[in-house]
Amino acid sequence: MSQTEPLISCKSHYISIGCNRLANCVSWGSHNLVAYGAAKSIAIYQPETTSVAATLHGHTARVNCVRWVNSHRAATDEIISGAANGEIIIWTYKSPEDWTIKARLSEKASVTSLDTIIDDNGNLVLATTSLSKSVRLWKRSEDGTW
């Protein structure tokens, strides 16, 4: 055996990051990507390549829920996530590996679930529930404020 040949050859077939064990912690959405909570992060999984394309860091507590923004009109480029400390983050997609934080909101208690719609005027409406036994509705205006 020559000195330039490797002793062992290794090829990666599967990389994973564990999903938080919560009912609302996964969402299959736009661009055929799956988003799920993984500790204090969001993992972006690509089913075609069976790989995690990105890990989004921004939360400071366990992620409890993840949801792609739903629109019956067109594919959306946003994910919303809620955490155990009340943090809510709106993430914007640029590519499977490139995401930015578009907005941060704060609930009074641990966010337990969330869902979205786009209203008739094209504005995003977010519904959240929390451990404070509340349901809260948030509406994003055309200028991006909540």
- The pTM score is 0.85
* pLDDT tens for each residue of 81-127: 999 999 999 999 988 888 999 999 999 999 999 999 988 888 899 99
Half-sphere exposure of 51 (CA within 13 A, CB side): 7
* pLDDT tens for each residue of 26-68: 999 878 899 999 999 999 999 998 889 899 999 999 999 999 9
Beta 51-57 vs 63-68: how paired, if at all?
unpaired
| Burial tier of 47 (Cβ tally within 10 Å: 0-12, 13-18, 19+) | exposed
